[in-house]
Amino acid sequence: MRLTRLLRVLPFLPGLALAAACGGSSNGNGNAASDAGADARGFDASAGQDSGAPVDASSHDSGATLDGGGADTGLVVADGGACPGVNVPGAAATHGNPPNVSNLGGPVLHSPRIVTFTFADTPNAAALQAFGASIASSAWFAQTMGDYTTTSAPPLGLSVALTANGDPTYVDDGDGLFAGDAGADAAASAGTDLNAFINTSIANAVAATTIPAPDGNTVYAFYFPPSSTITGFVGQSCQAYGGYHFNQVYGDGTTPIYYAIIPDCAQGTAYELQAATLAASHEIDEASSDPAPNTGWSLDVTPYPEDAGTSTVEFRNDPWLSLGYGEIGDNCEGTDWTLDGGTLVQRIWSNTSASAGHDPCVPVPSGESYFNASPDKAVYVASVGDTFTIDVTAFTDAPRASWQLDAVDYTQQLEAQAGLTTPYLKLEWVGGVVRSDGIASVTCMNNGMHAQLQVTLLADPAALQAAGLVLTWPQALGAIYSLDLSQQTAAEPGQDTAAYTWPFEVVTPAIAAQIGLGSSGVSDAIKPRKRFWAPVPRFGR
């Protein structure tokens, strides 16, 4: 994702919260909540709706209640009621389009070699070396990269065991790209130059015949000890991110080096090795599919205002970018997969699975159903004070019990970066409730059912940019969450063990005119796309 939207905090292991950044690994973006003890959305999603005030449909222009087929038709369950039985769809109901991950014309690695660098004080060094030796030849790698690269017969992964301990601080200025930039860390002069260290370490290993010379088809994975902090243009390790990948040029002046940085953010915990392999799997896949971040396989979202003609696909992708989507690992943060032998890796975005209406994050566990709800548009246009109605369609790819929809003003979570609390969206489900925590909810949704969400734009999103929150364009961001509350426990009533999300954005007429968007917004439907790619670096996790 672009550098302007690098930072997220994403819980992905029980009792462990890690963050990620540029070309980096993190999770909890709402695609699918993990077993983390905290709700990734930042509010209590407990099943109780006892304290909610019902939304009166008669107070709005549209008096429709829930509409759908099968046993759930028109049913809104009151407090303490039970949703109807399992819905048996013939196929997932027609719904909106998921994000479009495209090849933007940059380099892509095919059957890459993985070279693992560990320090003398890197925990679990032997296990990480074994992971690097086999991961590119695993069935997981072949499946997760199948849409993006050729992975037949990758070369054996190699390892370099550095004899020195890690330095206290390493500074990455993007191979000079960000040197002197306000986005580069102010402490750049106080640490070891990471780019020079990477280049020298590779050159020394080549001279010692431990590894072959760089060939432009290798990913160099550096696993740092807990005593080392990596900082620079992506921020500080274990605060801004749990891993990232980037690129630089080898000492010969021409050959590219693609590297992944894995700090030890779970130091001293039972999850230390799992956290490292989870982050590394994310970075290795992204460094292979998008080695020069956001020029290979990534969300196609054009920088603003540089683009003179944003395409429909770019408009449709933009709300997802605001949630932290970008490269193929970003889009599935919060999900994991266990390899044979117990090694933990991340599930990865699949265009094929997403376009077929299945869980986009592969591999998909056996027996798991994918359930979600999409709005009728990706971008809505409204003036401050306007109220309009969103038609939301629920869908699932397998028979399953009904679920709950929550609607959230996600703009407030973006504002938290700047310490702001202005509400931008008032959200109410027709026939639903607004709970005491302020979250609008409606229950008993299932395949093919429709719900109506009343949205009021409360403030001009232009204030977000004035506060330094750089979005693609001034927008308010909403998110619709599908929650399987039946999987919550009495011990953790606010935990979402199965949750998916679908975002939308609202812009004012002035911004719509400025970016070439009609007053009717952008319908969530596939249309012919226009290719746009500029050789201006954009940075992904």
Number of Cβ within 10 Å of residue 142's Cβ equals: 16
Task: Compute the distance between CA of residue 409 and CA of residue 39 in angstroms, rounded to an integer.
Answer: 15
- Global confidence as pTM: 0.83
Task: Compute the distance between CA of residue 1 and CA of residue 475 in angstroms, rounded to an integer.
Answer: 18
- Give residue 129's Cα distance to chain centre: 27
Interacting residues of 497 by C-beta distance below 8 A, sequence separation 6+: 33, 35, 484, 487, 488
Helix axes 125-134, 272-289, angle to 10 degrees: 30
Residue 196's Cβ-side half-sphere holds a number of Cα atoms within 13 Å equal to: 6
| Gyration radius (Cα) of the chain, Å | 23
Strand partners, 396: 371
Residue with tokens 């796309």: 529
Q: What is the pLDDT along the chain (541 residues), one digit of tens a residue?
A: 222 222 222 222 323 334 344 445 443 333 443 332 223 333 333 333 333 444 543 333 332 333 333 333 333 443 345 676 777 767 888 999 899 899 999 999 999 999 999 999 999 999 999 999 999 999 999 999 999 998 788 899 999 999 999 999 999 988 777 665 544 444 455 799 999 999 999 999 999 999 999 999 999 999 999 999 999 988 999 999 999 999 999 999 999 999 999 999 999 899 999 999 999 999 999 999 999 998 999 998 765 444 456 778 888 899 999 899 999 999 999 899 999 989 999 999 999 999 999 999 999 999 889 999 999 999 999 999 999 999 999 999 999 889 999 999 999 988 887 889 999 999 999 999 999 889 999 999 999 999 999 999 999 999 988 887 867 889 999 999 999 877 655 555 555 456 899 999 999 999 998 888 888 888 764 332 222 222 223 333 4
